Amino acid sequence: MGKTLFDKIWERHIVKQIDNGPAVFYIDRHFIHEVTSPQAFNGLDKRGVKVFRPQQTIATADHNVPTLNQHLPIKDLLSRQQVDALIQNCNNHGIELYGLGHPNQGIVHVIGPELGITQPGMTIVCGDSHTSTHGAFGNIAFGIGTSEVEMVLATQCLLQSKPKLMRITIDGELQKGVLSKDIVLYILSKISSSGATGHAIEFEGSAIRNLSMEARMTICNMSIEMGGRCGLIAPDETTFEYLKDKPFAPKNDEWGKALTEWEKLFSDEDAVFDKEILINAAEIPPMITYGTNPGMGIGVNENIPTAESVSETDKKGLTASLEYMGLDAGMPIKGKKIDYVFIGSCTNSRIEDLRLVADFVKGKQKAKEVEVWIVPGSKQVEKQAINEGLDVIFQASGFRLRQPGCSACLGMNEDKIPAGKYCISTSNRNFEGRQGAGARTLLASPLTAAAAAISGEVMDVRDLL
């Protein structure tokens, strides 16, 4: 029987199999940020242990940073202390830190790929659930808790049990105005936010092959929202082309050698998955969420479900969600007035996202009552956007390009959506209070968000293209 892509990478990273227990699993790359690492370093210090392989860990500050005036000290004392603790810990243990002010700083899942640190065939972890993003390069990448961060710092290993395997095949052509964010929101609406729990998900099919690396990252990013342990896409020419000449990509002879290895990374014809799902790309509309988990999504032209239209167990959840969201069952979502637009987060804050938005809003004006935040995923993205003059386009439309960070994705730093307000957001989570206590989030693609920025309401971006 053939092997899956996941099997091939998994097997290569087993240090040892514990009888009747998990495997000792070797980690190639480890990313850390300020929020989930301090307790891990405390643990090491308590044990009197140094970081085992400091060159394999890279740090950045992203969750707690302001996105305006980054040259000034962070106002919030606790946030500042956390960022300072990261600096201190990285110094003590010899870890490379791309902190505030560094040209490589940015959201951890944006900088890994853009610097070429993320590569095919690797095992990658971070104390952050959206580590699944990196799987777009054909590697095993997953989020871990702080105790596990400590394990990786101390030994470069984790104890892991092999997950089940699921394949989601998306074939066919996408409609105009439909982006990879719509693909993943559509899958979520079909299989729910627990539909892939316990599984590693491989995404395949012609629609995936036709996507850019950045668009692929958006899909893998949200595989955790289905409960997936990780999401991965076999590397191909698009992957190699993207990685070539990136600062940390293999150079000269090493590049050729790496390529030979990477080309072996795909699921064999006769590989067997525990679960298979097939999706026709042409059926996918621009999507939007109406509820409080990412599985609660519909096409922008559809009506919000009614209690009668959902299963018995989903009824209670639906009622509670709609109450929180202040939305009515059975009503159209199109035309819903919006207060905030957030374009950013590790799901959609890369240069292609900003280009799409700029291209769309060029020559148009922002709706008066809407507040729009455009937050690049990294310093590099910010620089590129400015080089291409995107900031000028945004400005002319009445928006402002802010500075890189997680921003309004999680209601932790200064950028929060006020209670009761509606925010159309390109991020990945619409949980209660995710963007600030009482905030109401509608997840959508950068194009659908840009359309709302212009019109002040939810609309079908296809009508404007």
Partner 1 sequence: MHLITQKINIIHSRFVPLNIENVDTDQIIPARFLKATTREGFGKNLFRDWRFENDDEMKPKNGFVLNDNNYGGEILVAAKNFGCGSSREHAAWALQDFGFKAVVSSFFADIFKNNALNNGVLPVTVSESFLRSIFALNENESLLIDLEKQQISIPSKGLSENFDINAYKKNCLLNGYDDIDYLISIKEDIIQYEQSIV
| Interaction between residue 59 and partner 1 (CB under 8 A) | no
CA gap 43, 245 in Å, rounded: 38
Tokens 């990658």 -> residue? 124
Of 428, 430, 441, 455, the one binding ligand SF4 by CB under 6 A: 428
Residues 111, 114, 117: CA angle, nearest 5 degrees = 75
CB of 273 to partner 1, least distance (A): 18
Give 159's contacts (C-beta < 8 A, 6+ positions apart).
Answer: 18, 21, 22, 23, 24, 25, 151
| Interaction between residue 411 and partner 1 (CB under 8 A) | yes
Q: Is the dihedral of CA 22, 26, 29, 32 positive or negative?
A: positive
Nearest to 188 by CA among 287, 295, 292, 283: 295
CB of 133 to ligand SF4, least distance (A): 8
Q: Per-residue x/- marks for partner 1, 223-262, CB under 8 A?
A: ----x-x---------------------------------
- Taking CB under 8 A as the binding criterion, the range among 17-25, 108-116, 258-266, 274-282 that sits at the site for partner 1 is 17-25
DSSP secondary structure of 86-98: HHHHHHHHT-EEE
Yes or no: say if 301 and 460 are a contact pair by the CB < 8 Å rule. yes
Of 47, 75, 244, 337, the one binding partner 1 by CB under 8 A: 47
**What is the total count of residues that contact ligand SF4 (CB under 6 A)?**
13
CA distances in angstroms from 32 to 99, 257, 266, listed in the order given: 11, 29, 29
Answer with the entry of partner 1, ligand SF4, none that 204 interacts with (C-beta below 5 to 8 A by kind). none
Of 346, 367, 452, 458, the one binding ligand SF4 by CB under 6 A: 346
| Interaction between residue 416 and ligand SF4 (CB under 6 A) | no
Closest to ligand SF4 by CB, 115 vs 234, is 115
Closest to ligand SF4 by CB, 178 vs 217, is 217
Q: What is the dihedral angle through the alpha carbons of 319, 324, 327, 329, rounded to the nearest 10 degrees?
A: 0
Yes or no: say if 451 and 360 are a contact pair by the CB < 8 Å rule. yes
In 127-197, beta strands by DSSP E: 140-143, 157-160, 164-171
- Taking CB under 8 A as the binding criterion, the range among 47-55, 213-221, 258-266, 344-352 that sits at the site for partner 1 is 47-55
CB of 441 to partner 1, least distance (A): 11
Q: What share of the chain is helix, strand, coil (3-state, %, to 5)?
A: 40, 20, 45
| Interaction between residue 143 and partner 1 (CB under 8 A) | yes
**Burial of 402 per CB tally in 10 Å (0-12, 13-18, 19+):** buried
Of 4, 60, 82, 218, the one binding partner 1 by CB under 8 A: 82
Answer with the entry of ligand SF4, partner 1, none that 189 interacts with (C-beta below 5 to 8 A by kind). none
What is the enclosing helix (H) or strand (E) of 306?
Answer: none
CB of 460 to partner 1, least distance (A): 28
CA gap 280, 291 in Å, rounded: 24
Of 123, 193, 426, 448, the one binding partner 1 by CB under 8 A: 193
| Interaction between residue 435 and ligand SF4 (CB under 6 A) | no
Under rule CB under 6 A, which residues in 49-78 are in contact with ligand SF4?
Answer: 62-63
Answer with the entry of partner 1, ligand SF4, none that 227 interacts with (C-beta below 5 to 8 A by kind). partner 1
| Interaction between residue 20 and partner 1 (CB under 8 A) | yes
The total number of residues shown for the chain amounts to 465
- Taking CB under 6 A as the binding criterion, the range among 85-93, 285-293, 314-322, 405-413 that sits at the site for ligand SF4 is 405-413
Interacting residue ranges for ligand SF4, rule: CB under 6 A? 62-63, 107, 109, 128, 130, 345-346, 406, 409-410, 427-428
